[in-house]
Structure 1
């Protein structure tokens, strides 16, 4: 896995298992968005899922966030960094 150059583990403020949230009937979009809205620029939310969370990626890109996603069948790692 090649992490993006802006990734800093010290800036990760939340790590989310998207697949587990969805299995409980909870969509992660609002929780991730609320977390990023309340944090300082440079903060990162990590997502783990069994699929590429393409709709989430597009939403956060549209909000001006830096987004990175890598993975393959059954295991994806996504990082969303608050810009600013």
Structure 2
């Protein structure tokens, strides 16, 4: 399973998003600190989930970071999070 697939699986299981888009941006960071030769180190997550309703941006990011704790401790070097509640 790729890192992208693991991100998608963990977020679907933990947060039950209405929409989820994960992009591997590693190619944009080739040669930079934390970039691995095979990629899969820099990602953007765009997620819409009901569990974000009423939460501020920091609380939303914490939920995502908690769901991805294992990946953030290992293969993920950088993660951009765009988290919204439905209707925002």
TM-score by length of 2: 0.30
Greater radius of gyration (CA)? 2
Of Structure 1 and Structure 2, the greater strand share is in 1
Of Structure 1 and Structure 2, the greater helix share is in 2
TM-score by length of 1: 0.31
